[in-house]
Amino acid sequence: MQRGTDFTKRVATKRAVLKQSGSADSLSSYRVLNSPGKDSRLAVDEYARSANDRWKQALAEDIALRETYQIVHDYITLTKKP
């Protein structure tokens, strides 16, 4: 269990550093976006655009997805080799 505790401490330290530098907000949030190709297809299909907007809204509000994104982001940030 020691390894998990070390990771948790490193994440907390990294978040504190990012918060002090003002970078935490841009790194702690995620945005649900379409690819440019999909946007061009949706421009001509009202039904698909409506369904896509509902799907994007559901993804943006999903707490589990947001937390998973943050965990993976923290893991990648903390395990990067210089």
Task: Count how many domains the chain has.
Answer: 1
pTM of the prediction? 0.56
Q: What's the pLDDT score for residue 1?
A: 47
pLDDT tens by residue, 1-36:
466 678 778 777 777 776 675 554 444 567 888 998
Is-contact 27 18, C-beta < 8 A?
yes
Q: CB under 8 Å to 77, separation ≥6 — which residues?
A: 14, 27
Structure-token match 């509000």, residue found: 61
Residue range of the domain that includes 43: 2-79
